[in-house]
A and B are shown apart, each in its own frame.
Chain A
Amino acid sequence: MGSIKFFASVLMVGLFAIAIVTFATQFGNDNSSAILLSDDEQLNTLNNEINSTITTWHSSVNDTGTTFFSTTQDQGDQSATSGGQFKSGINGALSMATKAMTSGYNKIFGSDGGFGIFLTGLTGILLFMLVAYGWKYWKGNPD
């Protein structure tokens, strides 16, 4: 997966999370449901945080877009070397994706760390496989 593909995927994760949470919340409001997703503090916080990130990102992208057309350079000026125009929004997209991931994980597995036992075992297996593959690469088949 290339960097552009990864960035687009991360962005889509955030937008998908917004779409799902907003739809579920609005469904409850529109139909006067007895059970409302807006009563769920964790997912409600996630929705607000991602919306805030999107709002900030929107203005940031607008400002960055303006610099492409408004900036002028005279003869002899040093060209911009920071590449700041191309960094706009990356932190925002990563933030949205990680927030969605964290909230989803905590909602499914809980936040008390009890599920960490499973993850520790899984990580151990993955590390073992990594070492085994490394050994296979250098010394041949580990079986």
Chain B
Amino acid sequence: MANVYTMPNLTGGIDTNIVQIVAQVPQFTIGLLVFVFGVIFIGGISTQKVRTGYADVPMWSVMASISTLMIALLMTIKAGWIDGVTLGVVVAVTIMSGLWLFLSRGRGEF
């Protein structure tokens, strides 16, 4: 049966499978990180908006960035999951989210 990409060896363990998937589809890691960021960012904003009527967008940006960074850091332990450029961009996005958060605070809030 023809496949879009070479199927991974499913007997090698989950980590080996993911490494093989990333080798075949390098966008997998980036897509996963963007998905995690988006779920936390949009989900947090929506939930807070429904519950309180106000959404603290910069705060959820930082929450999503740090969560994404944690997952990205775990991916660095084994070679083949994430590359240095992607990790650098995740760190940079986290720093820029922090910049947005701290410069968006008004008087009396922190």
Contact = CB atoms under 8 A, between A and B. Distances in A.
A40 B84 contact: yes
A35 B89 contact: no
A40 B90 CA distance: 12
B87 A40 contact: yes
Contact of A35 (B82, B94, B103, B106): B82
Nearest to B80: A34
Given A1-B107, A5-B107, A39-B84, A24 B91 contact: yes
A13 B82 contact: no
A56 interface: no
B43 interface: no
A17 B89 CA distance: 13
A100 B95 contact: yes
B95 A42 contact: no
Contact of A101 (B79, B83, B99): B99
A9 B105 contact: yes
B79 A34 contact: yes
Interface string A3-25: 00110011011001100110010
A33 B73 CA distance: 9
Contacts of B75: 35
A66 to B, nearest CB: 29
Nearest to B82: A35
B79 to A, nearest CB: 4
A24 B77 CA distance: 12
Contacts of B89: 107-108
Select the residue from B84, B93, B98 with max chain A CB neighbours within 10 A.
Answer: B98
Interface string A87-114: 0000000000100110111011000000
Interface string B67-110: 00100010111111011100111011111101100110111000
Contact of A13 (B76, B93, B99): B99
Interface of A: 1-2, 5-6, 9-10, 12-13, 16-17, 20-21, 24, 27-28, 31, 33-37, 39-40, 42-43, 97, 100-101, 103-105, 107-108
17 contacts: A5-B105, A6-B103, A12-B98, A13-B98, A17-B95, A17-B98, A24-B69, A33-B76, A34-B78, A35-B83, A40-B87, A100-B95, A101-B99, A103-B95, A105-B92, A107-B91, A108-B96
Q: Which 3 A-B residue pairings sit nearest by Cβ, starting from the closest?
A: A107-B92, A34-B79, A35-B76
